[in-house]
Chain A
């Protein structure tokens, strides 16, 4: 089917709000090329389970597309229209399975050497959309906090190497009650600047005591879902005819209830957590990957104004010699490796935060837990310098946000 043939009843299987949104913009949607449209529907079909920032973005995008005069619309989508698709792709039920279409389209673009053209078209479209409807800056400067190195007693290598050039490195912090101070500050911000899904706490281990106003995701709390997912995957893999694409499709179709996740009464957050586990590579196995990917996805999707991520030790990767000796020992934790993972995770946290509106006013703090080392990126602090002044984390946050 081609987009021009779409009718309102084609979206009958969409959740109610998603169906209403798409049908309201059907005239514009019909004009879009097939290489592009399912990628838009992939977002729209989950509209009922999207964060407020995502819903605004989809509404904005559809409004912009709908407002384009025909000539301008043709210009915007010309490069997408030039992408040649196979008859097989055109026959797919891309209305109801846009994610599946997206995967198969991606594979097709790679094999036909059209991936670069598609990528270029997508980047150009993104830039035009941004210019046509720039997102609003946050109501308060964004604050990102990464806490890394839990449990590490000593580390003699330089930390935060990638971040130091962008901020001030503090080498004589007073680390006392550091985590508590940071969590309290995050809770205070949630109270002062209330916003649904606006203030987050991600923990790669067990969540520490925190304000109920924070949206919290933790590796420990999802232990049951992780185990259920791995069991589910193992069962699927054993099925005849199962291949990587089929498995991905299966995972994409899982619902929170399939992994026993429907307890908290927050379907939006449940869907978010489900996707972290089913779409994130390594999130089921390594807590550091879970924390990093959760932070990335929270920033990309919910665009919180406060995000505190605490990395916890992940399990150690056992070398071949140990596996072959079958010592039967339980997996140990890799404290040093987790610190290195967390250091890169903090850097990516900052990069992802800087992709959001208001980047020039954003503040970022990365702290080596229970140690006197931190780096702060803030418009109020110089870049590429070291401070040896003694200061506690509360005062440091105040300084960074002032």
Chain B
């Protein structure tokens, strides 16, 4: 047995990692994902492929195209997901979605590692520097504004479903020079739940925690969000039905996916952005709850993809993007406490992955060249035909 396992002591194992540069650690992280995915799914390495981009569409096709973006607030690390010991946590991502995806193994986030500011950066294509714990709009135009302005789309065509009050301003930027009133409508399901259960006497304090990074602070809402009165008008959902369904669900992310599916049925938006946060309970330090959150998110991603296939408005014309906003601290970084936080800025906390699948995406392919999380918006622009002129990322060439 000793001949099989490397017989290194702990200090040796740690110092090996400590000697590597952050760039090398990040490269190894993505290599480990690639090797695992390739073994598990039989996917091909993207660099080995040649030929034209899969996105060879005329304007007519683009008009019908829809895109759904799912982000995870609170990344899941390799060892809890794509590494061999983590695979049991992600059966849907691994066995159902990855085989039909273009999988990007090396996505880095070079911005601020807070969930609101990082998600805002994903949505603008610029590393935003706003206060992570304040309900303020991004400084740069959002993907929703580019989409609606360039393609002359109505407000009903761009939506955000987000977990906490802090996200209520993410639909539209503060960039007045770009224009106003062009953003997405933001639905905060937990905010709706609070409003719907008002006066019921239920103690939902724990459930309604705004976020896990700073669980005691809840920003005040200020415009832009979807109100309870619109449940019936837009989602064709009475408050009673909403509450009755909420009582069957186990978490805020399940509620978000329920609302997203309702939106897909009633409004069929062409650009739908959903952020999930259950796994960020890792900040409480309970590893089992973090794993539970990953497993739930994995299941919900599978359910959303099934919903895409079952909705006529979405089937065969939808591209789905799934990506964590960033990672979490490595076990061996002395500045952090492993999975619990994302405060060190180490390679594990900055390195993550992205999965794209559906219409126009080459399936079963792995790309391991580095890209940045701010490349998402330019890639969406190339896909849907709008120009994110102030975004600082670059279109991913394998998707454009």
CA of A280 to CA of B337, assembled, Å:
10
Contact of B250 among A319, A355, A359 (CB under 8 A): A319
A296 and chain B: residue at smallest CB distance:
B337
A window 370-402: CB within 8 A of B: 377, 379, 382-386
A326 touches B202 (CB 8 A): yes
Size category, A interface: 35 or more
A324 touches B202 (CB 8 A): yes
A314 touches B204 (CB 8 A): no
CA of A339 to CA of B291, assembled, Å:
13
CA of A317 to CA of B249, assembled, Å:
14
Q: Which residues of B contact A321 (CB under 8 A)?
A: 247-250
Q: From residue B241, how far is it (CB to closest CB) to chain A in Å?
A: 14
One digit per residue, 1 when the CB lies within 8 angstroms of any chain B CB and 0 when it does not, for chain A 220-244 equals 0000000000000100010000111
Q: Which residues of A contact B7 (CB under 8 A)?
A: 382-384
A348 touches B338 (CB 8 A): yes
A286 touches B284 (CB 8 A): yes
Q: From residue A130, how far is it (CB to closest CB) to chain B in Å?
A: 12
Q: From residue B274, how far is it (CB to closest CB) to chain A in Å?
A: 17
Is B56 interfacial (CB-CB < 8 Å)? no
CA of A115 to CA of B343, assembled, Å:
10
Contacts known (A289-B286, A324-B204); A384 close to B129, Cβ less than 8 A: no
A4-12, A75-83, A330-338: which lies at the B interface? A330-338
Is B251 interfacial (CB-CB < 8 Å)? yes
B291 and chain A: residue at smallest CB distance:
A340
A244 touches B217 (CB 8 A): yes
A window 344-370: CB within 8 A of B: 344-345, 347-348, 350-351, 354-355, 359-360
B10-18, B170-178, B223-231, B352-360: which lies at the A interface? B10-18
Q: Which residues of A contact B252 (CB under 8 A)?
A: 320
B287 touches A344 (CB 8 A): yes
Q: Which residues of B contact A377 (CB under 8 A)?
A: 10
Is B26 interfacial (CB-CB < 8 Å)? no
B344 touches A119 (CB 8 A): yes
A288 touches B286 (CB 8 A): yes
B217 touches A247 (CB 8 A): yes
Is B216 interfacial (CB-CB < 8 Å)? yes
A244 touches B331 (CB 8 A): no
Q: From residue B23, how far is it (CB to closest CB) to chain A in Å?
A: 11
Is B345 interfacial (CB-CB < 8 Å)? yes
CA of A38 to CA of B156, assembled, Å:
51
Q: From residue A312, how far is it (CB to closest CB) to chain B in Å?
A: 13
Is A282 interfacial (CB-CB < 8 Å)? yes
CA of A384 to CA of B9, assembled, Å:
11
B284 touches A289 (CB 8 A): yes
Contact of A323 among B1, B207, B289, B292 (CB under 8 A): B207
Is B254 interfacial (CB-CB < 8 Å)? yes
B204 and chain A: residue at smallest CB distance:
A323
Contacts known (A237-B217, A323-B202, A359-B10); A340 close to B288, Cβ less than 8 A: yes
Is B159 interfacial (CB-CB < 8 Å)? no
Is B54 interfacial (CB-CB < 8 Å)? no
A339 and chain B: residue at smallest CB distance:
B288
Is A47 interfacial (CB-CB < 8 Å)? no
Is A285 interfacial (CB-CB < 8 Å)? yes
Contacts known (A237-B217, A292-B285); A354 close to B11, Cβ less than 8 A: yes
Is A153 interfacial (CB-CB < 8 Å)? no
Q: From residue A371, how far is it (CB to closest CB) to chain B in Å?
A: 18
A317 and chain B: residue at smallest CB distance:
B289
Q: Which residues of A contact B127 (CB under 8 A)?
A: 113
B251 touches A320 (CB 8 A): yes
Contacts known (A111-B112, A379-B9); A319 close to B251, Cβ less than 8 A: yes
Is B239 interfacial (CB-CB < 8 Å)? no
Contacts known (A119-B344, A243-B217, A355-B334); A384 close to B288, Cβ less than 8 A: no
Is A203 interfacial (CB-CB < 8 Å)? no
Q: From residue A181, how far is it (CB to closest CB) to chain B in Å?
A: 25
Q: Which residues of A contact B204 (CB under 8 A)?
A: 323-324
B201 touches A320 (CB 8 A): no
A341 touches B10 (CB 8 A): no
One digit per residue, 1 when the CB lies within 8 angstroms of any chain A CB and 0 when it does not, for chain B 180-220 equals 00000000000000000100111110110000001011000
B286 touches A286 (CB 8 A): yes
B343 and chain A: residue at smallest CB distance:
A106
CA of A163 to CA of B29, assembled, Å:
21
A318 touches B206 (CB 8 A): yes
B338 and chain A: residue at smallest CB distance:
A348
One digit per residue, 1 when the CB lies within 8 angstroms of any chain B CB and 0 when it does not, for chain A 241-261 equals 011100100000000000000
Q: Which residues of A contact B341 (CB under 8 A)?
A: 281
B197 touches A354 (CB 8 A): no
Contacts known (A334-B288, A384-B1); A320 close to B250, Cβ less than 8 A: yes
Is A263 interfacial (CB-CB < 8 Å)? no
Q: Which residues of A contact B197 (CB under 8 A)?
A: 324
Q: From residue B221, how far is it (CB to closest CB) to chain A in Å?
A: 16
Is A166 interfacial (CB-CB < 8 Å)? yes
B284 touches A285 (CB 8 A): yes
Contact of B285 among A116, A281, A318 (CB under 8 A): A281
Q: Which residues of A contact B286 (CB under 8 A)?
A: 282, 286, 288-289, 314, 317, 337, 341
CA of A185 to CA of B206, assembled, Å:
41
One digit per residue, 1 when the CB lies within 8 angstroms of any chain B CB and 0 when it does not, for chain A 99-130 equals 00000000000111101100100000000000
Q: Which residues of A contact B200 (CB under 8 A)?
A: 326
Contacts beyond the supplied A296-B337, A341-B288, A351-B332: 6 A-B pairs with Cβ under 8 Å: A110-B129, A237-B216, A323-B203, A324-B246, A343-B287, A344-B287
User: Can you list 7 residue pairs at the A/B interface with Cβ under 8 Å?
Assistant: A110-B129, A111-B112, A323-B204, A323-B207, A325-B247, A341-B288, A351-B14
Please list the residues of chain B having a beta carbon within 8 angstroms of any beta carbon in chain A: 1-2, 4-5, 7-11, 13-14, 22, 85, 110-114, 127, 129, 133-134, 197, 200-204, 206-207, 214, 216-217, 243, 246-252, 254-255, 281, 283-289, 291-292, 331-332, 334-335, 337-341, 344-346
The 6 closest A-B pairs by CB, nearest first: A289-B285, A384-B5, A282-B284, A340-B288, A337-B288, A319-B250
